Amino acid sequence: TTSSRRSPRSRHPQSSSSRRSMAASASANPIATFDTTLGTFEAELFMDKMPITASNFADLANSGFYDGLHFHRVIDGFMLQFGCPHSADPKSNRAGTGGPPGGSSFETPTGETVKRDGGGNIPDELIDKTSNKPGTLSMANTGQPNSGGSQFFINTVHNDFLDWFGPGQSKHPVFGAVISGMDVVEKIGKTKTDRGDAPVTPVKMNSLKVK
């Protein structure tokens, strides 16, 4: 059903200013700015704790990969999912199946080069035990190891059953958290959706940049 709290999976084909200032001053981590058609919010990326996953996200964001895409799966009381290139067309039945170009690469803060596999996926980074609490950014995957690419989700409730270090089968590592504009996230989370969990009125990412 549309309200089912299923794992936020990417389906591959076969094969406030003050809060921001406080967060930024407490950490040298980069800040991502999400400019959507329903408003703007910001998130800290946990580059210090999740360098591969956060660097993958920052690389995609600053290359313009996410600009013009739409939230393709929204479930009230669960999460918002985003990041599939096929969602450039908000009505595409392929939304949720795409990822970054296979074989592309990016660098971590230490200068390590990480190459995405042929499907555009990165290695699972199961090292930090931050739970999937409200406002956290977490990697979507197919349920198989090393199957995360560009798709991620923002938790709107505490979805601890998605923690990679929990007893369940789902393994979704957290790599960031919203630091301002959570009201915008909640507004997106309340948008009316169709039977496939896609917003009836598309919610577009005008731009997503990391500094």
Catalytic residue among 9, 73, 80, 137, which? 73
Per the DSSP assignment, residues forming a β-bridge with 174 are: 138
Catalytic residue among 46, 65, 78, 175, which? 78
Catalytic residue among 29, 56, 141, 155, which? 141
Amino acid code (one letter) for 27: S
C-alpha to C-alpha distances, 101 to 74, 84, 122, nearest whole angstrom = 25, 12, 11
Number of neighbouring beta carbons within 10 Å of residue 208: 23
162 annotated active-site? yes
CB 191 within 8 A of CB 36: no
DSSP 137-163: EEE-B-SSTT-BSS-EEEESS--GGG-
Catalytic residue among 34, 82, 106, 153, which? 153
Catalytic residue among 29, 56, 81, 132, which? 81
151 annotated active-site? no
116 annotated active-site? no
132 annotated active-site? no
CB 187 within 8 A of CB 41: no
57 annotated active-site? no
Catalytic residue among 45, 69, 137, 162, which? 162
Catalytic residue among 106, 159, 172, 175, which? 172
CB 48 within 8 A of CB 135: no
Which positions are catalytic?
Answer: 73, 78, 81, 141, 153, 162, 172
